[in-house]
Amino acid sequence: MSDIRYYITGHGLGHASRSCQIINTLRRRHPEISVEVVSTAASWFFRRFLDKSVPVRPLALDFGVLQQDSLVMREEETLRAYRAFLPQRQRLTVREAASLRKEKVKLVAAAFAAAAAAAADVYSVGVSNFTWDWIYAGLAERHSGYDDVLQSLEQDYRKAELLLRLPFHTRESVIRVVEDQPLVARVSPHEKKERRKALGLPAECRVGLISFGGFGLKDFDPSPLRKLEDWIFLSETRPDGAPANVRPLPPGDYAYPDLVRAADVVVTKPGYGIVSECLVNGTACLYTGRGDFREQALLIEGLRRYGRAREIGNDDLRRGNWGAALADLLAQPEAAEELASGGDVVIADKLARLVREQGGGKG
């Protein structure tokens, strides 16, 4: 039995990352409030980064967007798959509503679970910069005939009581009440030199962190990177044909924000988690486009306004033609503006107040 049931999408790790940050802060500041996580995100991520007191139950009430790799979405397949998923989602919603009532949960965190919360008379709050109905509407602009999917999503999201809206957000929301929040992001507590020494990296070299999350990067030729003799590139896996200056991460328990802090540049695609961590850890970002994903423009705008960022085309990225882009990026001045962060504390305290206000339900 938990006070808060926190649903986390299994799409990528960005939502899991910031949700863990909020939950860990909540447990530290308000240990009397219990939390359960419901998610199909990677179990290893929760084992490493979620407070050990928080149980995790695997269940998917959504699946985000289907992808070929980190850069290519399977757009119409996503819409078809969600349509096929609708009957199952309705059954799961009924089951979750019954469970919420039985367990006397006081608060549901995640707008995509609002339908289950409403059926159980439990207050629901979203914590995000967008909702999936907005993303799917963008897909449907290019693939007609999915009005039923969009209507179902909008109806569910309208049942949320409140959206705690994060930076890099769309102006549109079907949720009635919206409150803007500071950035939620994991900050490394270590200095750059300290992290580099721990990673066995020479102090005089440039360091790039290759970051393409759980979806990976297909058709990547790293061999041209050997020409960048003053660079070392860290990668979660060693790509085929990688030169000696492309190194797999050494064994050990390294928090990802520490890797971001150690790097001069993160090479990635625009995703909320990595964009946020680049900004709060003061690391430049070399990014490549990920198609027409609607959130992308919001993230790029934030990167360019509050950090150092440069785009590299998909072809140049996959061919390892990074030299000119990296040099141009590092020549950029520091950003003049700083984005307010510490949203995990603000949101954790807000969730705690909502739990106390709700008591046994929203009444």
What pLDDT digit, counting tens, does each position of 94-141 carry?
Answer: 999 999 999 999 999 999 999 999 999 999 999 999 898 988 888 898
Whether residue 207 sits in one domain with residue 89 = no
> Which pLDDT does position 117 carry in this prediction?
97
In tens, the pLDDT along 291-350 reads: 777 788 999 999 999 999 999 999 999 999 999 999 999 999 999 999 999 999 999 999
* Domain annotation covers residue 336: no
Whether residue 110 sits in one domain with residue 24 = yes
Number of domains in the chain: 2
CB 80 within 8 A of CB 50: no
Residues 6 or more apart whose CB falls under 8 angstroms from that of 357 comprise: none
* Domain annotation covers residue 347: yes
Whether residue 291 sits in one domain with residue 167 = no
Whether residue 235 sits in one domain with residue 142 = no
Selection from 305, 282, 208 nearest residue 249 by Cα: 208
Whether residue 198 sits in one domain with residue 180 = no
CATH number of residue 77's parent domain:
3.40.50.2000
Whether residue 204 sits in one domain with residue 179 = no
Whether residue 34 sits in one domain with residue 171 = yes
> Which pLDDT does position 213 carry in this prediction?
67
Please give the residue range of the domain that contains residue 214: 192-330
Whether residue 278 sits in one domain with residue 241 = yes
CB 38 within 8 A of CB 239: no
In tens, the pLDDT along 282-305 reads: 999 999 987 777 788 999 999 999
> Whole-model pTM?
0.90
Length of the chain: 363
Whether residue 200 sits in one domain with residue 145 = no
Structure tokens at 137: 């509407």
Whether residue 197 sits in one domain with residue 149 = no
Task: Tell how strand 123-128 and strand 107-109 pair up.
Answer: parallel
Whole-angstrom distance, CA of residue 282 vs CA of residue 68:
31
